[in-house]
Amino acid sequence: MNPVGQAGRKGEQVRSDCWISVELRDGGGVSIDLVSKVESMYGASIRDAVGKGVAALGVSHAKVEVNDSGALPFVLMARLEAAVRRARPDLKAELLPEMKPWATVGTTRDRFRRSRLYLPGNEPKFMVNAGLHGPDGVILDLEDSVAPTEKDAARLLVRNALRTIDFGRAERMVRINQIPAGLDDLDWIVPHNVHVVLIPKCESDDQVEAVDERIEKIRKAKGVKTPVYLMPIVESALGCIKAYKIAKASENVVALTIGLEDYTADIGTQRTNDGRESFWARSQVVNAARAAGVQPIDTVFADVVDMAALFASVQEAKALGFDGKGCIHPRQIEVIHRGFTPTDAEIEKARKIVIAFDEAQKKGLSVVSLGSKMIDPPVVKRAQRTIELAIAAGVLAADWREGGGGNA
Amino acid sequence: MPKTPGLAENAVGRLVPAEINGREAVPYKGVAKHRPTGNKAAPKIATCADYPDDGNKVVSDIKAALLKAGIRDGMTVSTHHHLRNGDYVANAVFAAAAEIGVKDLMWFPSASFPIHKPIIEHMKNGVVHHIEGSMNGPLGEFTSRGGMKGMGVLRSHGGRYQAVQDGEVHIDIAVIAAPEADPFGNANGVNGPAACGLLGFALADSQYADKVIVATDNLIPFPCIPWQIQGNYVDIVTTMDCIGDPTKIVSGTTEITKSPDRLRIAEMTARFVRDAGIMKDGFSFQAGAGGTALSFAIYLADMMKEAGVKARFVRGGSNKYLVEMLEQGLTDYILDGQTFDLDGVRSMRENPRHVNTSPFTSYSYHGKGNFASMVDVTVLGATEVDVHFNANVVTHSDGKLLHGIGGWQNCLFAGCTILPIPSFRDRIPVLVDEVTTLCGPGELIDVIVTERGIAINPLRQDLLKAVAGSKLPIRSIEEIKAEVEDICGGAPAKPKFGERVVAAVKWVDGTVIDSVRQLAG
């Protein structure tokens, strides 16, 4: 029997995806059977892409069936490659879509990470417009949102998304699978300008080191120049106990976050709205992150309807010391950003401190003072951050020193 | 197969039939260019002595009613869409006509729905010759494939009234589905198991048809109050077990879209209305059904509350959210063309400020003015929009006829017409070089709101100026289109059509603005 590989989805409910079957043959060339919702518009283009795709993967003889529900080209190519790979597991070649100019943007270690939007890694329809909603980060998820049987297909889709989609100003993040299985995910994403790798269910510094080493190896092999940052997620009692070591495990760690669903199960309780059961863990993460000099980021808020509850939760997170929060629906982004926006009183205080700092610098003083009070360096740093946040949120003009008029 | 009639080029460069089903047709000349003269059509003189003194016009069933109305081959029979996808009446009428054995009827519905799929069989077996109305879903597909004998004619709600008033269409028999009626023929849509709100779409038919039949499943003793349809126009009343499926007439729940992109589009539309200064005390708006339009109304209501602004009137399709606005005092009136949910029906029944309208008050070209042009801002949908702001609502980009025009063309005359639309659906670009079917000329379409930005028609420099300096993402339509084509992998190929025109698209004045060709293959 000829080897057959199938990938993707078809059916009435399916949108923006396709199902592809590839039967490898010994002769007879490549035949393509296409059924497509967009036949009249892109039928020729799909046949052309499939023909070129199988050739690029080194397949000369095959029966290819495509059932298309309006898949965009990056999806079509990912599904085709997944089908061929399933028919021929030892396949070396990759079918890489052209790297778009907007996919080459960089990131910085200290950028804001107020909101991060989770996108299921095997669901194409939410990916293309995710950046339009303005999150600080998008997370292409290979872990819990992907069925165990679809991990291979999701890797290819995520890789193609990284190469082709304009995520705007959002930082490009991928949540890999739990270590050690997740290490293999890295091969598929590190060469394609991923900014931050999220390490789920992280319980030790060894796991962070393993990820870091694997990334380093791939960077060298593929000539990747830009750094790949890490954001471990602690989701267990052990992870929380080791939070500081985890945050300190690599200089590439830029943030530490917490996953409360698994954590509460692990400590033998349930999540409540009150959140008393997770207070220690969240504080532990804040303190571990701050001690390690990385950003503490709060868990995901799962109720996508109750925006008032989300806002309250963001304010609580901010009060606990967190810099960001996870979300699963784009409508949550604006609420999260609003929640992390400094208040007028906070901005006013920060302005005074920053101006005092600037004046001390100008005068060459090593001590910053405001009135009769000495201002310590962490307070100055915090004030500068508050000003940056206020500017990013659009509540303070970028040229506030000139326009805003100093001490009000 | 019928021959293709001669084609003429109209004012928007589209080739349109010069003759439709044996009658001469006028090619579209431009907005407000066609000015027919003479007298309106008139119904036959009736004599009350020919009707029972006790007012009882009831006959046993639809078949008996059609026979009494004198149905014969080639007649025009009309029905209406106030029962929407729950309507049992149109199917019952043509089943009865088939039993009687008449042929070549013209069906003149105010709109059709997927529930009317059985009409396809009646077209195949010759009972129905062709449809002039809307050809939705399966009927559209059948028409696009060339299945209909005659040429379909698509008209707006206002265009349907215009065609009846200027004699372009003469209705032989009108069958009006009535959620409540009395034996005299007075009827309304606010009471009864199939309550749907109002019967405005049947108004012209009641006044102009030769014979008017009222079909009800809720016959009450005279008088039926309110009489949205006056029994003095009605020839025959008949009863059915059930005129429609209430769960499909009004859903009872109104679905707000959960799609993040559509919510974004709805919110941007509301912000545009606010920031352009349209949202001010005493203003008016119209928003249709559909998830995006509903969400628009919700966002706008919030912004109105925040700014302390009150509307003078809003135009429905009413729903729960418009009713809430009325009840919270955010608008003085709802002037309603149809009701989309049970809250709308209840409000119309109970609230004197929730007023029913008809295509005559709102849309007719032969009125001495109409409401639609008095609305400050209207929010509509489209299947395609081109770089000249021309829009399509009847066919999809694959060339298939799938929707009717509804009140869409009529609403374009509002002070500001906004189309909130996704820039692409799956892999189907909505912004294109040239629309497949031109239903509305770009000069009447002012703003396109997509998830990727807002494009303002360059003809509306006033709007461009009004939002300059706002935070709205204003972009050119060409720029957004180019972005979409990059995402979709190039510009889409055009559908392949045969020669034959299967349907003509009328403009609000009765001229022909475009034609729909049979699909090739």
Q: What is the spatial distance between Cα A318 and Cα A324, in angstroms, rounded to a whole number?
A: 8
Residue B435 at interface with chain A, using a CB cutoff of 8 Å: no
> pLDDT tens digits for A234-273?
999 999 999 999 999 999 999 999 999 999 999 999 988 7
B452/A41 CB distance under 8 A: no
Considering A291, A315, A340, which residue would you say is the last residue of a domain? A340
* Stretch A143-149: mean pLDDT: 97
Q: Are residue A47 and residue A178 in the same domain, yes or no? A: no
* Stretch A315-332: mean pLDDT: 95
Q: Are residue A139 and residue A127 in the same domain, yes or no? A: yes
Distance from CA of A129 to the nearest CA of B (A): 7
Residues of B with Cβ-Cβ distance to A41 under 8 angstroms = 397-398, 427-428, 492-493, 495
Per-residue pLDDT of chain B (521 residues; tens, 9 = 90+): 444 558 999 999 999 999 999 999 999 999 999 999 999 999 999 999 999 999 999 999 999 999 999 999 999 999 999 999 999 999 999 999 999 999 999 999 999 999 999 999 999 999 999 999 988 889 999 999 999 999 999 999 999 999 999 999 999 999 999 999 999 999 999 999 999 999 999 999 999 999 999 999 999 999 999 999 999 999 999 999 999 988 888 765 566 778 899 999 999 999 999 999 999 999 999 987 777 888 999 999 999 999 999 999 999 889 889 999 999 999 999 999 988 888 999 999 999 999 999 999 999 999 999 999 999 999 999 999 999 999 999 999 889 999 999 999 999 999 999 999 999 999 999 999 999 999 999 999 999 999 999 999 999 999 999 999 999 999 999 999 999 999 999 999 999 999 999 999 999 999 999 999 999 87
Q: Are residue A235 and residue A323 in the same domain, yes or no? A: yes
* Whether residue A408 has pLDDT greater than 80: no
Q: Is residue A96 part of a domain?
A: no
Q: Are residue A369 and residue A286 in the same domain, yes or no? A: no
In 3-state terms, what secondary structure has residue A307? helix
Q: What is the spatial distance between Cα B450 and Cα B473, in angstroms, rounded to a whole number?
A: 10
Q: Are A39 and B398 in contact (CB under 8 A)?
A: yes
Q: What is the spatial distance between Cα B403 and Cα B138, in angstroms, rounded to a whole number?
A: 10
Q: Is residue A93 part of a domain?
A: no
Q: What is the spatial distance between Cα B41 and Cα B400, in angstroms, rounded to a whole number?
A: 34
> pLDDT tens digits for A378-395?
889 889 989 989 998 888
Q: What is the spatial distance between Cα B320 and Cα A11, in angstroms, rounded to a whole number?
A: 34
A133/B264 CB distance under 8 A: yes
* Whether residue A407 has pLDDT greater than 70: no
Residue A70 at interface with chain B, using a CB cutoff of 8 Å: yes
Considering A49, A64, A87, which residue would you say is the last residue of a domain? A87
Residue A404 at interface with chain B, using a CB cutoff of 8 Å: no
Residue A44 at interface with chain B, using a CB cutoff of 8 Å: yes
**Number of compact structural domains in chain A:** 3
pTM: 0.93
Closest by CA position to B393, among listed B230, B507, B303, B268: B507
CATH of the domain at A336: 3.20.20.60
Range of the domain at A306: 102-340
Q: What is the spatial distance between Cα B297 and Cα A131, in angstroms, rounded to a whole number?
A: 25
Considering A340, A357, A392, which residue would you say is the last residue of a domain? A340
Q: What is the spatial distance between Cα A158 and Cα A155, in angstroms, rounded to a whole number?
A: 5
Q: Is residue A299 part of a domain?
A: yes
Reading phi first (left if > 0) and then psi (alpha if -120 to 50, else beta), residue A127 is in alpha
Domains and CATH numbers, chain B: 45-249 (3.40.1080.10), 260-494 (3.40.1080.10)
B398/A39 CB distance under 8 A: yes
Mutation to test the B interface, candidates A10, A127, A129, most B Cβ within 10 Å: A129
Q: Which of residues 154-193 of A touch B (CB under 8 A)?
A: none
- φ/ψ of B157, rounded to 5, equals -60, -45
Residue A146 at interface with chain B, using a CB cutoff of 8 Å: no
Closest by CA position to B6, among listed B15, B18, B14: B18
Beta-ladder partners of B77: B107, B173
Residues of A with Cβ-Cβ distance to B493 under 8 angstroms = 40-45
> pLDDT tens digits for A43-52?
999 999 999 9
Residue A407 at interface with chain B, using a CB cutoff of 8 Å: no
- φ/ψ of A277, rounded to 5, equals -65, -20
Quick one: pLDDT at residue A376? 85
Q: Are residue A261 and residue A336 in the same domain, yes or no? A: yes
Quick one: pLDDT at residue A404? 52
Strands (E), B209-298: 211-216, 236-239, 283-287
Q: Is residue A95 part of a domain?
A: no
Q: Are residue A78 and residue A169 in the same domain, yes or no? A: no
* Stretch A193-211: mean pLDDT: 98
Q: What is the spatial distance between Cα B238 and Cα B230, in angstroms, rounded to a whole number?
A: 15
Q: Is residue A173 part of a domain?
A: yes
Q: Are A197 and A215 in contact (CB under 8 A)?
A: yes
Quick one: pLDDT at residue B254? 61
Q: What is the spatial distance between Cα A20 and Cα B70, in angstroms, rounded to a whole number?
A: 59
Q: Is residue A94 part of a domain?
A: no
Which is it for the CA torsion B516, B117, B364, B353, positive or negative?
negative
Quick one: pLDDT at residue B5? 56
Q: Is residue A43 part of a domain?
A: yes
Distances (CA, A) of A316 to A279, A336, A389, B67: 11, 11, 18, 75
Q: Are residue A310 and residue A192 in the same domain, yes or no? A: yes
Q: Quick one: DSSP state of residue B492?
A: P
- φ/ψ of A364, rounded to 5, equals 75, 25
Closest by CA position to B168, among listed B369, B3, B26, B18: B26
Q: Are residue A176 and residue A70 in the same domain, yes or no? A: no
Quick one: pLDDT at residue A406? 40
> Using omega within 30 degrees of 0 as the cis cutoff, is the peptide bond preceding A73 cis?
no
Quick one: pLDDT at residue A307? 93
β-strands B180-181, B173-178 pairing: unpaired
* Stretch A133-161: mean pLDDT: 97
Q: Are residue A61 and residue A209 in the same domain, yes or no? A: no
